Amino acid sequence: MHAAMDSPLGTILLTEENECLTAVKFVGNVPTFCDDSLLLRQAVQQLTEYFSGNRREFDLPLALEGTDFQKRCWAELQKIPYGQTISYGEEARRLGRPTACRAVGGANGRNPIPVIIPCHRVIAADGSLGGFSGGLDIKRKLLALEGIAIP
Protein backbone atom coordinates (compact mmCIF):
# COMPACT_ATOMS: atom_id res chain seq x y z
CA MET A 1 0.00 0.00 0.00
CA HIS A 2 1.10 3.56 -0.66
CA ALA A 3 0.37 7.16 0.21
CA ALA A 4 1.73 10.37 -1.27
CA MET A 5 1.61 13.49 0.87
CA ASP A 6 2.45 17.14 0.35
CA SER A 7 5.22 18.48 2.56
CA PRO A 8 7.44 21.56 2.69
CA LEU A 9 10.01 19.37 0.91
CA GLY A 10 7.75 18.38 -1.99
CA THR A 11 5.75 15.20 -2.26
CA ILE A 12 6.71 12.30 -0.01
CA LEU A 13 5.78 8.74 -0.96
CA LEU A 14 5.15 6.30 1.90
CA THR A 15 5.07 2.53 1.49
CA GLU A 16 3.50 -0.02 3.83
CA GLU A 17 3.83 -3.79 3.86
CA ASN A 18 2.34 -6.13 6.46
CA GLU A 19 1.19 -3.24 8.66
CA CYS A 20 4.70 -1.75 8.89
CA LEU A 21 6.15 1.30 7.20
CA THR A 22 8.87 0.18 4.77
CA ALA A 23 9.86 3.28 2.81
CA VAL A 24 9.78 7.07 2.72
CA LYS A 25 10.85 8.65 -0.59
CA PHE A 26 11.09 12.20 -1.83
CA VAL A 27 9.35 12.17 -5.22
CA GLY A 28 9.03 15.82 -6.21
CA ASN A 29 5.50 16.86 -7.09
CA VAL A 30 2.94 14.15 -7.76
CA PRO A 31 -0.76 14.08 -6.87
CA THR A 32 -1.43 13.18 -3.25
CA PHE A 33 -3.39 10.07 -2.32
CA CYS A 34 -3.66 7.52 0.47
CA ASP A 35 -4.55 3.86 0.09
CA ASP A 36 -7.07 2.62 2.64
CA SER A 37 -4.67 2.03 5.50
CA LEU A 38 -4.78 3.14 9.11
CA LEU A 39 -0.97 3.00 9.32
CA LEU A 40 -0.49 5.22 6.27
CA ARG A 41 -3.00 7.74 7.61
CA GLN A 42 -1.12 7.75 10.93
CA ALA A 43 2.21 8.19 9.14
CA VAL A 44 0.85 11.13 7.11
CA GLN A 45 -0.56 12.67 10.29
CA GLN A 46 2.69 12.26 12.24
CA LEU A 47 4.79 13.68 9.39
CA THR A 48 2.38 16.61 9.06
CA GLU A 49 2.77 17.27 12.79
CA TYR A 50 6.57 17.05 12.45
CA PHE A 51 6.65 19.54 9.57
CA SER A 52 4.41 21.94 11.52
CA GLY A 53 6.75 21.77 14.53
CA ASN A 54 4.33 19.84 16.74
CA ARG A 55 6.07 16.44 16.78
CA ARG A 56 9.63 15.53 17.70
CA GLU A 57 9.44 11.73 17.74
CA PHE A 58 7.60 9.19 15.62
CA ASP A 59 5.60 6.24 16.87
CA LEU A 60 5.09 3.96 13.88
CA PRO A 61 5.85 0.28 13.27
CA LEU A 62 8.79 -0.02 10.88
CA ALA A 63 10.07 -2.94 8.80
CA LEU A 64 13.67 -2.51 7.73
CA GLU A 65 15.52 -4.63 5.21
CA GLY A 66 19.28 -4.39 5.25
CA THR A 67 22.45 -5.93 6.60
CA ASP A 68 22.98 -6.33 10.32
CA PHE A 69 25.43 -3.40 10.23
CA GLN A 70 22.92 -1.18 8.40
CA LYS A 71 20.21 -2.05 10.92
CA ARG A 72 22.57 -1.20 13.79
CA CYS A 73 23.35 2.16 12.15
CA TRP A 74 19.65 2.91 11.63
CA ALA A 75 18.88 1.98 15.26
CA GLU A 76 21.62 4.38 16.40
CA LEU A 77 20.12 7.15 14.27
CA GLN A 78 16.85 6.82 16.17
CA LYS A 79 18.69 7.72 19.39
CA ILE A 80 19.75 11.17 18.12
CA PRO A 81 17.42 13.71 19.76
CA TYR A 82 15.40 16.21 17.75
CA GLY A 83 17.38 19.38 17.15
CA GLN A 84 20.78 17.75 17.67
CA THR A 85 23.42 16.41 15.32
CA ILE A 86 26.33 14.02 15.57
CA SER A 87 29.17 13.31 13.16
CA TYR A 88 29.62 10.14 11.13
CA GLY A 89 32.67 9.45 13.31
CA GLU A 90 30.60 9.80 16.48
CA GLU A 91 28.01 7.39 15.13
CA ALA A 92 30.81 4.93 14.29
CA ARG A 93 32.23 5.28 17.83
CA ARG A 94 28.78 4.70 19.34
CA LEU A 95 28.56 1.50 17.30
CA GLY A 96 31.93 0.33 18.63
CA ARG A 97 33.52 0.72 15.18
CA PRO A 98 35.49 4.00 15.48
CA THR A 99 37.21 3.64 12.09
CA ALA A 100 34.01 2.83 10.18
CA CYS A 101 32.96 6.42 9.33
CA ARG A 102 32.63 5.71 5.61
CA ALA A 103 30.69 2.49 6.23
CA VAL A 104 28.35 4.42 8.53
CA GLY A 105 27.86 7.04 5.82
CA GLY A 106 27.07 4.30 3.32
CA ALA A 107 24.58 2.64 5.64
CA ASN A 108 22.90 5.97 6.44
CA GLY A 109 22.65 6.67 2.71
CA ARG A 110 20.66 3.46 2.31
CA ASN A 111 18.22 4.33 5.10
CA PRO A 112 14.83 3.41 3.58
CA ILE A 113 12.83 5.58 5.98
CA PRO A 114 14.47 9.04 6.16
CA VAL A 115 12.97 11.73 8.39
CA ILE A 116 11.33 9.09 10.60
CA ILE A 117 14.75 7.46 10.99
CA PRO A 118 16.64 10.77 11.19
CA CYS A 119 19.76 10.25 9.09
CA HIS A 120 19.62 13.99 8.35
CA ARG A 121 20.95 14.56 11.89
CA VAL A 122 24.37 13.15 10.98
CA ILE A 123 26.88 15.63 9.57
CA ALA A 124 30.58 15.66 8.73
CA ALA A 125 33.14 16.21 11.48
CA ASP A 126 33.95 19.68 10.11
CA GLY A 127 30.30 20.75 10.45
CA SER A 128 29.46 20.45 6.75
CA LEU A 129 26.41 18.50 5.68
CA GLY A 130 27.95 15.34 4.28
CA GLY A 131 25.42 13.46 2.16
CA PHE A 132 21.71 12.70 2.13
CA SER A 133 19.69 10.41 -0.12
CA GLY A 134 17.05 13.11 -0.64
CA GLY A 135 19.66 15.71 -1.58
CA LEU A 136 21.53 18.31 0.46
CA ASP A 137 18.83 20.96 0.00
CA ILE A 138 16.28 18.71 1.72
CA LYS A 139 18.79 17.82 4.46
CA ARG A 140 19.44 21.53 5.07
CA LYS A 141 15.67 22.20 5.28
CA LEU A 142 15.12 19.33 7.73
CA LEU A 143 17.91 20.59 9.98
CA ALA A 144 16.58 24.16 9.79
CA LEU A 145 13.11 22.88 10.73
CA GLU A 146 14.71 21.44 13.88
CA GLY A 147 16.51 24.71 14.62
CA ILE A 148 19.95 23.63 13.41
CA ALA A 149 21.75 26.19 11.26
CA ILE A 150 24.36 24.81 8.88
CA PRO A 151 26.51 27.32 6.96
As annotated, the active-site residues are 119
Relative to beta strand 2-7, strand 33-34 is antiparallel
Which residues, including other chains, have CB under 8 Å from residue 65's CB and lie 6 or more apart? Answer: 22, 112
Question: In whole angstroms, how far apart are CA 124 and each of 36, 94, 128?
Answer: 40, 15, 5
DSSP tally for the chain: helices H, then strands E: 5, 6
- Contact in structure between 7 and 115 (CB atoms under 8 Å): no
Encode 27-63 in three state secondary structure: EECCCCEECCCHHHHHHHHHHHHHHCCCCCCCCCCEC
